[in-house]
C-alpha cells in the first residue's frame, strides 16, 4: 500500500492540476504542487503529525495543513470535491498528453465539451478543432502524435531504467566530444543526479558555434525523430523512444549551464531564490547583478555556488531535501564515492542461478581493484536452485583455494538465505556459523499481511548469523511494487540487532531506494552497497548503488563494504 505521504501527494497534485485547468491563480496551483512534492518526499509518516507538525513541512501553511488533516481523518477534502464536480475526470487526463497543457485542455472542454482522450480523437477527426482560437493544423498533428506517444509509454510514465539511459548518454557524449569545436561535453539532468529512472537525457556542449553539434545529434544512427531544432537547443527522440535534449552553451557559461541543466528544478528554484536575496539573478548563462545586469561569474559550478555562499553541492544531493541549508551551514555530508567501495558482498555464480563460474566472477572482481569479495549463492530453500549442503561446502573449498590468488583480493564465503513466510532461514545456526557472512532476502509470499511481513523481516534481523538484509522491499521497478511491511519497525530492528540493510545496485531493483535510505539512516542503521551480480557484466552496476547511497546522504562510515576487512569481519561475526 502507498504511504499516507504518497496518497496525500497525489491528492494535492490533483487539486493543483484542477486549479490550473479551471484557470485559477497560477501561483496557487504552484503552491499546491510544491506542497505535494514536499509531502511526498518528507521522511516522517504524515499521519503521525498534528497541524503544527504538518506546518513544519516546507510549503505547507495553514490552509494545506487543514486540508491534509481533513483528508487523513475523513478521506475527503470538500474543496477538492467541489472542483472535481465542475471538471470531468477526463479533462485532467488530457493534460497528460504531451503538448496539451491546462489552458488548451480547458478550451477543448469549454468550447467542444471534450472530456476524454477518446472524445478528443473524435473531435480532431471531425475537424472541430479548426475553429478554435489558437489551434491550427500543426496543433492537431502534435496532439495526435502526443496521444500516440503517451499510449506507447504506457503505465511506466515513459521513464526508463538508469543503466539504459546511461548507455545512450555516454555514447552521445563520446560522439559529440569528438566533434570539431567541442570545448566541453557532459550529460546533466536526472541522470547526473543518479535518479533511479530517467525521463529524458540532457546533454550539454560548450562551444562557440552550435550548428555542427545540432547536425551531429540529428544525424546519429539511432535518432528517429527531431522534435525541435533551434540554434541553442535541439531535441530528438531515439529509435527506442527516449528523448534527448542537446543544449549548446558559450564556453564561458559552462558552469552556470551545467548547474541549471543538472537540476533538480526544486534545487534550482532554491538557489535562484538565494541569488535574488543577494541582489543577483541566476540563469543558465551565469550569475548577474540584478540591477546592472553585469555578469559576476559562470565558468564553473564551484564559482557560482561560492558566490552564493555555498560549497559545491554534489549533483546527487540536489533534490531540495535541505542540501542548500546544510551547505550554508557548511554541514554537507562527506558522501561515499565509487572509489571508497572495497568489495561486493552479494554475488552469485553458476552454482545456482548465476551465469559465470566462480573463477570468472572472482577474476572480474579482482580487476575492479576490490580488496575483498563475497560469493553468496542461493541456499536450499529456493529449491529451483538445487542447492545442497555438499555443494555449498565443496564451493567453500574452492573459494578457500582461490583466496588471495587474484591481486591479493580476499574472498569471503557466504550465502543468500531465503527468508521464509515465518521469518525462518534455510539452515540451522550451527551450519550458518560456517559462513563468513549471510545475506538474507525475501523471495516469495509477497502478499502476506503487513503484520506478517514485518514480523518476518524482524525475525530475520534477530537471527544472529544474518548480517545483511538483501533487497529489503523486493520491488522490481516498473514491474512489481515493494512488499507492504512496516519498514520503520524493520529499520529499528536492524539498528538494534546490528544488521545492515542492502542497497541493491541492480538497475531493476535499486532497493533500498533513496527515500528509504534517508528514513533508515535516522535509526542509526548501517548499509551494504551490493550488486547482486549474476554475471561479470553486473559487477559495474556498483556505480548505481553508490549513486543511490549518495542520494540517501550516506558517508563512508555508514557503509560496511567501505570498511577495512578487519572492521568488516567484526561486524559480520555472529551478533
Binding test (CB under 7 A) with DNA, winner from 40, 41, 189, 314: 189
C-alpha cell at 379: 541456499
CB of 185 to DNA, least distance (A): 17
Residues of this chain, 53-112, that bind DNA according to CB under 7 A: 55, 58-65, 79, 95, 97-105
Core vs surface per residue 163-179: b (16+ CB within 10 A) or e: bebbebbeebbebbeee
C-alpha cell at 352: 545456482
407 binds DNA (CB under 7 A): no
Binding test (CB under 7 A) with DNA, winner from 76, 127, 151, 229: 229
Query: Helices (DSSP H) in 188-310: which residue ranges?
Result: 189-192, 211-218, 254-262, 265-277, 301-307
C-alpha cell at 564: 577495512
CB of 70 to DNA, least distance (A): 13
CB of 240 to DNA, least distance (A): 16
- Residue closer to DNA by CB (options 99, 119) is 99
- Residue closer to DNA by CB (options 189, 333) is 189
- Residue closer to DNA by CB (options 268, 550) is 268
- Residue closer to DNA by CB (options 236, 409) is 236
Residues of this chain, 502-531, that bind DNA according to CB under 7 A: none
- Residue closer to DNA by CB (options 202, 377) is 202
Site string for DNA, 251-290 (x = CB under 7 A): --------------x--xx--xx--xx-x-xxxxx-----
CB of 139 to DNA, least distance (A): 4
In this structure, the strands spanning 233-238 and 243-249 are antiparallel
Q: How many residues lie near DNA (CB under 7 A)?
A: 63
Binding test (CB under 7 A) with DNA, winner from 200, 452, 462, 488: 200
Distance CA 555, CA 333 (A): 7
CB of 134 to DNA, least distance (A): 6
Distance CA 122, CA 107 (A): 16
243 binds DNA (CB under 7 A): yes
**Extended strands (E) in 207-344:** 223-229, 233-238, 243-249, 280-283, 286-289, 295-297, 343-344
Q: What is the CA radius of gyration of the chain?
A: 26
CB of 99 to DNA, least distance (A): 5
Paired residues of 412 in beta bridges: 374
CB of 23 to DNA, least distance (A): 9
In this structure, the strands spanning 468-469 and 295-297 are unpaired
- Residue closer to DNA by CB (options 30, 368) is 30
Contact of 474 with 510, CB cutoff 8 Å: no
Stretch that binds DNA, among 22-30, 298-306, 503-511, 549-557 (CB under 7 A): 22-30
- Residue closer to DNA by CB (options 264, 448) is 264
- Residue closer to DNA by CB (options 196, 202) is 202
CB of 7 to DNA, least distance (A): 18
CB of 335 to DNA, least distance (A): 24
Distance CA 500, CA 438 (A): 11
- Residue closer to DNA by CB (options 20, 438) is 20
C-alpha cell at 357: 563460474
Number of H helices, E strands in the chain: 24, 17
Distance CA 153, CA 168 (A): 18
CB of 13 to DNA, least distance (A): 14
| Cα 258 off chain centre by | 20
- Residue closer to DNA by CB (options 14, 202) is 202
DSSP 28-54: HHHHHHHHHHHHHT-SS-GGG--HHHH
- Residue closer to DNA by CB (options 189, 423) is 189
Stretch that binds DNA, among 29-37, 394-402, 453-461, 504-512 (CB under 7 A): 29-37
Distance CA 122, CA 508 (A): 39
CA triple 305-310-316, angle to 5 deg? 75
Contact of 295 with 315, CB cutoff 8 Å: no
Query: Which single residue is written with the C-alpha cell 504531451?
Result: 98
Stretch that binds DNA, among 3-11, 134-142, 305-313, 519-527 (CB under 7 A): 134-142
Residue 103 Cα distances to 14, 110, 157, 224, 519, angstroms: 16, 11, 22, 30, 39
Binding test (CB under 7 A) with DNA, winner from 31, 91, 332, 520: 31
Binding test (CB under 7 A) with DNA, winner from 53, 89, 113, 136: 136
307 binds DNA (CB under 7 A): no
Distance CA 63, CA 204 (A): 41
Residues of this chain, 433-462, that bind DNA according to CB under 7 A: none
CA triple 171-237-190, angle to 5 deg? 65
DSSP-derived secondary structure letter, 18: H
C-alpha cell at 366: 579482482
- Residue closer to DNA by CB (options 10, 26) is 26
* Binding footprint of DNA on the chain (CB under 7 A): 25, 27-28, 30-32, 35, 55, 58-65, 79, 95, 97-105, 133-142, 146, 189, 199-200, 202, 228-233, 243, 245, 265, 268-269, 272-273, 276-277, 279, 281-285
Amino acid at each position: 500500500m502507498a504511504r499516507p505521504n504518497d496518497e496525500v501527494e497525489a491528492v494535492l497534485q490533483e487539486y493543483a492540476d484542477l486549479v490550473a485547468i479551471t484557470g485559477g491563480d497560477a501561483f496557487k496551483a504552484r503552491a499546491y504542487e510544491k506542497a505535494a512534492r514536499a509531502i511526498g518526499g518528507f521522511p516522517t509518516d504524515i499521519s503521525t503529525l498534528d497541524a503544527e507538525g504538518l506546518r513544519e513541512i516546507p510549503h505547507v501553511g495553514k490552509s494545506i495543513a487543514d486540508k491534509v488533516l481533513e483528508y487523513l481523518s475523513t478521506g475527503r477534502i470538500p474543496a477538492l470535491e467541489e472542483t472535481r464536480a465542475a471538471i470531468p475526470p477526463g479533462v485532467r487526463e488530457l493534460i497528460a498528453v504531451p503538448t496539451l497543457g491546462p489552458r488548451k485542455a480547458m478550451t477543448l472542454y469549454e468550447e467542444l465539451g471534450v472530456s476524454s482522450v477518446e472524445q478528443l480523437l473524435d473531435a480532431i477527426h471531425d475537424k472541430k478543432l479548426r475553429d478554435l482560437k489558437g489551434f491550427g493544423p500543426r496543433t492537431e498533428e502534435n496532439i495526435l502524435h502526443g496521444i500516440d506517444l503517451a499510449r506507447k509509454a504506457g503505465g511506466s510514465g515513459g521513464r526508463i531504467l538508469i543503466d539504459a539511459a546511461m548507455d545512450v548518454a555516454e555514447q552521445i557524449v563520446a560522439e559529440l566530444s569528438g566533434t570539431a569545436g567541442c570545448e566541453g561535453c557532459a550529460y546533466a539532468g536526472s541522470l547526473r543526479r543518479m535518479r533511479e529512472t530517467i525521463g529524458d537525457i540532457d546533454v550539454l556542449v560548450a562551444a562557440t558555434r552550435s550548428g555542427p553539434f545540432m547536425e551531429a545529434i540529428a544525424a546519429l544512427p539511432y535518432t528517429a525523430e527531431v522534435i525541435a531544432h533551434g540554434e541553442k537547443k535541439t531535441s530528438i527522440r531515439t529509435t527506442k523512444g527516449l528523448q534527448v535534449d542537446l543544449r549548446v552553451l558559450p564556453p564561458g557559461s559552462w558552469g552556470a549551464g551545467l548547474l541549471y541543466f543538472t537540476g533538480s528544478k526544486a534545487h534550482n528554484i532554491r538557489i535562484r531564490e538565494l541569488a535574488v536575496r543577494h541582489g543577483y539573478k541566476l540563469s543558465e548563462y551565469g550569475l548577474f547583478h540584478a540591477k546592472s545586469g553585469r555578469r559576476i561569474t559562470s565558468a564553473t559550478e564551484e564559482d557560482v555556488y561560492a558566490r552564493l555562499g555555498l560549497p559545491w553541492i554534489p549533483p546527487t544531493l540536489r533534490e531540495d531535501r535541505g542540501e542548500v541549508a546544510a551547505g550554508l551551514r557548511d554541514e554537507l555530508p562527506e558522501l561515499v564515492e565509487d572509489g571508497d567501495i572495497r568489495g561486493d558482498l552479494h554475488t552469485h555464480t553458476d552454482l545456482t542461478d548465476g551465469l559465470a563460474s566462480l573463477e570468472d566472477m572472482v577474476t572480474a572482481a579482482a580487476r575492479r581493484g576490490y580488496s575483498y569479495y563475497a560469493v553468496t549463492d542461493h541456499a536450499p530453500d529456493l529449491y529451483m536452485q538445487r542447492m545442497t549442503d555438499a555443494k555449498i561446502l565443496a564451493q567453500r573449498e574452492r573459494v578457500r583455494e582461490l583466496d588471495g590468488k587474484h591481486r591479493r583480493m580476499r574472498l569471503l564465503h557466504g550465502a543468500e538465505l531465503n527468508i521464509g513466510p515465518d521469518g525462518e532461514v534455510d539452515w540451522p545456526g550451527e551450519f550458518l556459523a560456517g559462513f563468513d557472512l549471510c545475506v538474507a532476502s525475501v523471495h516469495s509470499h509477497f502478499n502476506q499481511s503487513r503484520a506478517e511481513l514485518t514480523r518476518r523481516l524482524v525475525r530475520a534481523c534477530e537471527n544472529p548469523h544474518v548480517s545483511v538484509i538483501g533487497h529489503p522491499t523486493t520491488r522490481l521497478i516498473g514491474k512489481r511494487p515493494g512488499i507492504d511491511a512496516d519498514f520503520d519497525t524493520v529499520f529499528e530492528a536492524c539498528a538494534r540487532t546490528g544488521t545492515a540493510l542492502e542497497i541493491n545496485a541492480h538497475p531493476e531493483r535499486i532497493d533500498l531506494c533513496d527515500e528509504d535510505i534517508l528514513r533508515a539512516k535516522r535509526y542509526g542503521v548501517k548499509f551494504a552497497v551490493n550488486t547482486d551480480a549474476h554475471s561479470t557484466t553486473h559487477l559495474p552496476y556498483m556505480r548505481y548503488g553508490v549513486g543511490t547511497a549518495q542520494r540517501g546522504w550516506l558517508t563512508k562510515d555508514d557503509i560496511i563494504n567501505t570498511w577495512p576487512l578487519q572492521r568488516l569481519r567484526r561486524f559480520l561475526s555472529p551478533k
